[in-house]
Amino acid sequence: MKKLLSADEIAEGVAGLAEQIARDYAGRPLTIVGVLTGCVVMLADLIRLVDLPLRLGWVQARSYRGTSTVGGVLTINADLLPDIKARDVLLVDDIFDTGRTLLELINQLDELHPASIRSAVLLEKEGRREVSVRPDYVAFHIPDEFVVGYGLDYNDLYRNLPYVAAFEAKDLESTDGWHQI
CB 82 within 8 A of CB 60: no
156: annotated active-site residue: no
- Cα(130)–Cα(128) distance, rounded to whole angstroms? 6
| Options 97, 144, 156, 171, the catalytic residue | 97
- Cα(123)–Cα(57) distance, rounded to whole angstroms? 21
Cα-based distances in Å from 15 to 11, 41, 109, 131, 138:
6, 14, 26, 28, 12
**Residues taking part in catalysis:** 97
